[in-house]
Structure 1
Amino acid sequence: MRRPTATVLTLTTTLLLSVATVPVNATTDPFSRYAQQELTWGACAFTPQPDALPAECAAVTVPRDWAAPEAGRDLVVSISRVAATGQHLGSLLLNPGGPGGQGTSLPGALAALQPQLHERYALIGMDPRGTGQEGGTAPEQLPATCEVPVERLSQRTDLDARDRSAGSIAEHLKLPRAVAEACQSEALTPFLTTWQTAHDMELVRILLGESTLDYLGYSYGTWLGAKYASLFPRGAGKMVLDSSTNFQGRLQAAFEAWPQINQRLFEDTFLPWMTRQFPAEVGATTAEAAANWERARRFFAGAGTSPDQFDAIFTGMGSPLRWVLGALVFVLGVRGANGETAATVNGSPLAPQLDARSRAEFGVPLESLTPAALALALAEDPRDYRLVAATRYAVACGDQPTRSAAWHKRLSDQQGPRYPLFGWQYGLSEPCAYWSDAPRQALPTLPAGVADRVLVVQGEFDPQTGYEQARSAVRAAPGAALVSVADSPFHGQYAFDGNPCVDGVVNVFLLRNSRPGDVTCPGVPLPNETEVHPVPGPVRTPAATVATATSPTLPALRESVRAMISDVNAPVR
């Protein structure tokens, strides 16, 4: 998971506005003061990924509060651009999700992987307010963070949400309460919301000189894009919402669904995949694999890794790299439970990928990563303060009214028996349960006149935004279209998954303005497999849509961006 390492971003505190919805003064154009600035394009602070095309960056000055533009210190938002190589069709703004993901490096990657799109569109990235400047190291370029004193947190290293004793529950509740209080104490927090960022996006459209702004957003970026289109329907162009929340409902519902959708992925796709890839280590049947996973969990608990930490590794596995990491931990845990010390994997074709994950995550080659060493590496490193991303919680908890700690405790009691992988833990770990600030602005739902510009793309077994969320959004927005990706367990489908069906449908929509009705695309094979193994689920898959492996271009770049989109949309950062 990506965790910010910045110190807290401090701003001058001014008198805040009163509660409830505060409309922009109808007699004054809030953009007039800021629309006069000129964009000055120059070098970006981030280093482009290998194979990505170079981008140029510019700074955009925005008010701290669009509801009162004259009050408080202005903020600066960073945007990037990869200009079209051919006849300019429009500007496509990109967002990787989060909330709080930085997006200025996305245009260069997308331009390299989708040259047809690069030819006609200016691809625009954005580091939303509160996320700093991607690649920047100066204090003013760092993300806003909340400092949570460690003494406010549990000092236990054996936390297991399955333990329903009063003492265990009290220890679990320390973290979400401390995070909520720390983030609400920051002066900037009330202004890190989707409503504010949508206004920043509208200013970007004006400064780019576009009559409409086309959009591609992943995960939380679907919520942001839908709310932009709801607030500024005249400025919204073609909207591609990939791995979608229910943007017509509650944002927090996407997080509340994590126990169910992660249990489904774990049981129906991940464990069967493990039996095909590592039968000698985890067993040849799903039942054997499930039993061995429990043995691995007990081994790591005995070696100093909290069961909660172990469970978290197997939630939010929305990218192939996360699957490989899960396989690495699983296999070594079983070896440890068997009393073995070696880390070899019986000549598995996945051994090179396991070795790469071992080096990237733990700093040692696979052959040096014994089960005991892995248990030590998984233990949290104590610090004076734990830093969490302010934008993540300011948006997730500040966009809409929250539900109480008692409600979340009941949710944990209900979800735990049904979805034990994360069900016991989620309801005891949600900072929104302790969020006391009321939303300052209301977020409208998508109006009917905009829905025919919306294309939703959704994987069937996505463990980070469930398929049912996307389907509910489309049903509540008559005119929107849904591209279902059968049997796909990954988060983020278009451009970076190497799926020719998905890429073709989205490109036709963006480049030819021809949006399909509801369609189903086959998923792509899982890591180290050459065909898709269909699994019963919410998508009805025609028999003719079984896909086989292809060799997409620039695989390293694809893997890197897919992992970023998955990680930036993890439940805790």
Structure 2
Amino acid sequence: MRLRRRTLLLGCLWLLTACGSRSGAPDPVDAEREAALARFREQAVAWAPCDPSIFPEVLLEPLATLGDRLECATLRAPLDWEVPEGEAINLGVLRVRAGDEAARRGAILTNPGGPGGDGLILGALLGLVFASNGGAELGFEAAAPELLGAVSSAYDVVGFSPRGVGGSFRLYCGTNRRAEPPGFYTDRSPENVQALLTLGERQADACLNTPLSQYINTEQTVRDMDLIRTVMGDEKLNFLGYSYGSWLGAWYAKRFPQHAGNIVLDANVDFTATFEAIFNDFVRGFERAFREVALPFAARNDAVFGLGGSADEVYAVYDGLPEDLKAVLVQGSLSIFAALYSSEAVPDIALTLVAARGVDEALEAFGDTLTLDNFDAFAALVGEQTYAEDAFVDELARTYALTLAQDYLLYRDFLENGPYPVELPPEGAVGTAVTCNDAPWPQGAEHYIRRGNEAHESYPLLGGALTAEPCGFWGAPTAAMPETPSEMAPILMVQTGFDAATPSEGALRAFDSLPNAALIYIENELSHGAFPYNTACVDAAVAAYLLDGTVPQTRVQHCDARPLPGETQVYPPGGVPRPAAARVSAQALLRPAAHHPLYGLLHDTVRQNAADFFGRGQSSPWSR
């Protein structure tokens, strides 16, 4: 119906152009469109105090220090920017106003990634950190307090809920068609591969049954972003985006080069590629981070963890676990997958492996099938296990093991009580719609069987999950990233060398596509998303660029990584065994000096969005 209407409009436009051009009469179609757009571009923004219920409790007291600088509003935008006279939607927006309104230079729009991440909390957190002189007034060890404080004086910091999530209108995907929960994706039997395929197909069907899903793509979102710029009265849009936010920011800069201001892209996806290629990078990046960062860390500290003195020996502990316990270890409450988003969580990966080895031994000793009725007896057995020689590690691992045991029971119960209705909440629905709508995907089952099998052989930690891909059953995309214009404002990219979710190879390909971009590169850092990094090399450079567009003097500025928790030096990929004389205490490894809790919350907001996005296509008790 929409296609027919567009065809008729185009036909009318041709006739009016052919017949009306002689008289010079205005084009009624253009006039109608401009009038429809004006109702959005000229809307008054009713800023008001934010509802405190949208924030985590830990944020309420610090945010109160902002006073009336913290405000929220709801904007109206077209459902379809190609048909602005049609239906309208709500967009939730938050801002921390510039501290010196008389000297205000504009706004910095922020995005935490996903796709599917709600940006309101990130906007509040970044606004709070900048307003408190880089967090120095909150107890942060701020590396560039004066510069970040100056940014807060001159710029509003804005967070928004992208269409489909949060404080904007919400997209839900669901169908009464059911799907059997597949086993862990490392099971490549024909039956389990088919279950993975069916799950992907049913999720695509659930979203395609929702007509709104065709309007959830990055093209529509960047036009929403430009609307935010327009109604705030700014000539330029400044932007700080993480992960998918780099895809979003690059798209905006290409679509609206005349309005692109200071654009910072952190934890960069390869925005020259398709999402399918990005996912291939993704599973490769996690495999490398696991084997070349997390496992060597455990091996260097074998005296603490007792998992083995080489990365291969530590990997053998993981590889020897039963598949259902691996599923819990990767996807559950103590997910090693989620831990690989942050350098600070690397010691937790080693501790979780210690706990999982003990749970495996308890399962073998228990003998019976674990059920809710006999779980107490199994939990008692888990509690009696010895996990490590070090008493501190032993006690922590026992606590972790009890959590793994509970997750294991939950997972087994989940597998045995399907099939389940196929439903995706807003975050997963938007992640699926954007991924499938933004770029083409090969269609059909055979490609994804082969893709998952090959990825499993090369990258067994996550590779098999590529089989359960909804986009293989979606059809054609509804958007396409614009070409890079001949003139673009200089973009500043920030990238860590061992980012698992957005590996450096893809980030560097994207960087190479932008001749006037600059890059801050932290070579041996693992974490997904760096800024603020609490080193002057990173934070001062980003703050100077956000403040007045000053780019580093060299195209690539190399910054030193911080050591992993408890360690005093940075090890190259693969690392080297730590000499026995340099043994670090368990307390130093597992309970290092903590960052301010809000600093952790800021980075966790980015990393959790990314982790949730990958889980959108998986079926488990934790995705429901």
Q: TM-score range by the shorter chain?
A: 0.7 to 0.9
User: Which whole-Å CA distance do the structure 2 matches of 1:215 and 1:268 have between them?
Assistant: 33
Partner of 1:43: 49
Deviation at 1:277, TM superposition (A): 4.7
**Which residue among 93, 97, 115 is the counterpart of 1:83?**
97
Aligned 1:48-67 pairs, distance under 5 A: 49-50=58-59, 51-52=62-63, 54=66, 55-67=70-82
What per-residue deviation string (whole Å, max 9, x for no partner) do you get for residues 36-92 of structure 1? 211111122312543456521010100110000112x21000111101213323210
1:119 maps to 2:153 = yes
Partner of 2:447: 407
Please tell me whether the aligned partners of residues 335 and 371 of structure 1 are also in contact (alpha carbons under 8 angstroms).
no
1:287 maps to 2:312 = yes
Please tell me whether the aligned partners of residues 287 and 459 of structure 2 are also in contact (alpha carbons under 8 angstroms).
yes
1:456–1:63 CA distance, 2 compared to 1 (3 A): same
Partner of 1:522: 560
Q: Which amino acid aligns with 1:63?
A: P
Partner of 2:585: none
Please tell me whether the aligned partners of residues 218 and 479 of structure 2 are also in contact (alpha carbons under 8 angstroms).
no
What per-residue deviation string (whole Å, max 9, x for no partner) do you get for residues 426-483 of structure 1? 2x121111112x2334320332311x42111111111111111110011112111222
What per-residue deviation string (whole Å, max 9, x for no partner) do you get for residues 228-254 of structure 1? 111111111010010111223323322
User: Which whole-Å CA distance do the structure 2 matches of 1:371 and 1:281 have between them?
Assistant: 19
Deviation at 1:318, TM superposition (A): 0.9
Please tell me whether the aligned partners of residues 321 and 559 of structure 1 are also in contact (alpha carbons under 8 angstroms).
no
Q: Which moved more, 1:366-375 or 1:500-509?
A: 366-375
Please tell me whether the aligned partners of residues 261 and 461 of structure 1 are also in contact (alpha carbons under 8 angstroms).
yes
Partner of 2:464: 424
Deviation at 1:380, TM superposition (A): 7.2
Deviation at 1:107, TM superposition (A): 2.4
1:132–1:67 CA distance, 2 compared to 1 (3 A): same
Please tell me whether the aligned partners of residues 343 and 526 of structure 2 are also in contact (alpha carbons under 8 angstroms).
no
1:349–1:479 CA distance, 2 compared to 1 (3 A): farther
Partner of 1:556: 597
**Which residue among 188, 194, 200 is the counterpart of 1:170?**
194
Q: Which moved more, 1:90-99 or 1:165-174?
A: 165-174
Partner of 2:509: 472
User: Which whole-Å CA distance do the structure 2 matches of 1:348 and 1:461 have between them?
Assistant: 32
Deviation at 1:366, TM superposition (A): 2.3
Partner of 2:109: 93
Partner of 1:376: 409
Partner of 1:511: 547
User: Which whole-Å CA distance do the structure 2 matches of 1:264 and 1:20 have between them?
Assistant: 48
Query: Counting helix residues as a fraction of each chain, which structure ranks higher?
Result: 2
1:184–1:81 CA distance, 2 compared to 1 (3 A): same
Partner of 1:144: 171
Partner of 2:140: none
**Which residue among 344, 351, 355 is the counterpart of 1:332?**
355
Q: Which amino acid aligns with 1:269?
A: V
Q: Which amino acid aligns with 1:70?
A: E
Please tell me whether the aligned partners of residues 359 and 404 of structure 2 are also in contact (alpha carbons under 8 angstroms).
yes
Please tell me whether the aligned partners of residues 263 and 492 of structure 2 are also in contact (alpha carbons under 8 angstroms).
yes
What per-residue deviation string (whole Å, max 9, x for no partner) do you get for residues 377-436 of structure 1? 55575765543422111100001221223323222232222211122232x121111112
Partner of 2:335: 313
Q: Which moved more, 1:204-213 or 1:378-387?
A: 378-387
Deviation at 1:375, TM superposition (A): 2.0
1:63–1:214 CA distance, 2 compared to 1 (3 A): same
Partner of 1:569: 610
Partner of 2:483: 445
Deviation at 1:311, TM superposition (A): 13
User: Which whole-Å CA distance do the structure 2 matches of 1:475 and 1:268 have between them?
Assistant: 26
1:131 maps to 2:158 = no
Deviation at 1:498, TM superposition (A): 3.0
* RMSD of aligned Cα (Å): 3.3
**Which residue among 31, 35, 50 is the counterpart of 2:37?**
31
1:374–1:234 CA distance, 2 compared to 1 (3 A): same
Aligned 1:389-400 pairs, distance under 5 A: 389-400=428-439
**Which residue among 237, 242, 251 is the counterpart of 1:218?**
242
Give identity over the alignment, percent: 29
2:510 alignment partner, SS class: helix
Partner of 1:270: 294
Please tell me whether the aligned partners of residues 352 and 400 of structure 2 are also in contact (alpha carbons under 8 angstroms).
no
Please tell me whether the aligned partners of residues 160 and 307 of structure 1 are also in contact (alpha carbons under 8 angstroms).
no
Deviation at 1:373, TM superposition (A): 2.9
Q: Which amino acid aligns with 2:307?
A: V
1:487 maps to 2:530 = no
Please tell me whether the aligned partners of residues 92 and 121 of structure 1 are also in contact (alpha carbons under 8 angstroms).
yes
User: Which whole-Å CA distance do the structure 2 matches of 1:312 and 1:412 have between them?
Assistant: 25
1:569 alignment partner, SS class: helix
Q: Which amino acid aligns with 1:434?
A: F
Deviation at 1:258, TM superposition (A): 1.6
Q: Which amino acid aligns with 1:152?
A: R
User: Which whole-Å CA distance do the structure 1 matches of 2:345 and 2:122 have between them?
Assistant: 20
Q: Which amino acid aligns with 2:39?
A: R
**Which residue among 243, 251, 273 is the counterpart of 1:249?**
273
Q: Which amino acid aligns with 1:415?
A: A
2:353 alignment partner, SS class: helix
Please tell me whether the aligned partners of residues 245 and 251 of structure 1 are also in contact (alpha carbons under 8 angstroms).
no
User: Which whole-Å CA distance do the structure 1 matches of 2:258 and 2:249 have between them?
Assistant: 14
Q: Which amino acid aligns with 1:336?
A: V
User: Which whole-Å CA distance do the structure 1 matches of 2:412 and 2:558 have between them?
Assistant: 42
1:411–1:192 CA distance, 2 compared to 1 (3 A): same
Please tell me whether the aligned partners of residues 147 and 182 of structure 1 are also in contact (alpha carbons under 8 angstroms).
yes
Please tell me whether the aligned partners of residues 96 and 156 of structure 2 are also in contact (alpha carbons under 8 angstroms).
yes
1:500–1:408 CA distance, 2 compared to 1 (3 A): farther
Please tell me whether the aligned partners of residues 95 and 158 of structure 2 are also in contact (alpha carbons under 8 angstroms).
yes
Partner of 2:180: 154
Partner of 1:11: none
User: Which whole-Å CA distance do the structure 2 matches of 1:315 and 1:248 have between them?
Assistant: 26
Partner of 2:372: none
Deviation at 1:333, TM superposition (A): 0.8
Please tell me whether the aligned partners of residues 131 and 144 of structure 1 are also in contact (alpha carbons under 8 angstroms).
yes
User: Which whole-Å CA distance do the structure 2 matches of 1:99 and 1:370 have between them?
Assistant: 30
1:264–1:348 CA distance, 2 compared to 1 (3 A): farther
Q: Which moved more, 1:338-347 or 1:36-45?
A: 338-347
1:209 maps to 2:209 = no
What per-residue deviation string (whole Å, max 9, x for no partner) do you get for residues 96-149 of structure 1? 01111111112221133332232222101100110131xxxxxxx673221255
1:173 alignment partner, SS class: helix
User: Which whole-Å CA distance do the structure 1 matches of 2:159 and 2:92 have between them?
Assistant: 8
User: Which whole-Å CA distance do the structure 2 matches of 1:95 and 1:329 have between them?
Assistant: 31
User: Which whole-Å CA distance do the structure 1 matches of 2:37 and 2:574 have between them?
Assistant: 50
**Which residue among 407, 419, 433 is the counterpart of 2:472?**
433
User: Which whole-Å CA distance do the structure 1 matches of 2:498 and 2:155 have between them?
Assistant: 31
Q: Which amino acid aligns with 1:144?
A: L
Gaps of 5+ in 2: 14-28, 134-147, 363-380, 576-588, 617-624
Normalising by the residue count of structure 1, what TM-score does the alignment of the two structures yield?
Answer: 0.82
Normalising by the residue count of structure 2, what TM-score does the alignment of the two structures yield?
Answer: 0.76
User: Which whole-Å CA distance do the structure 2 matches of 1:208 and 1:100 have between them?
Assistant: 24
Gaps of 5+ in 1: 1-14, 134-140, 356-364, 538-548
User: Which whole-Å CA distance do the structure 2 matches of 1:183 and 1:455 have between them?
Assistant: 35
Deviation at 1:93, TM superposition (A): 0.2
Deviation at 1:327, TM superposition (A): 4.0
Deviation at 1:152, TM superposition (A): 2.6
Q: Which has the larger radius of gyration?
A: 2
Deviation at 1:192, TM superposition (A): 0.8
Partner of 1:197: 221
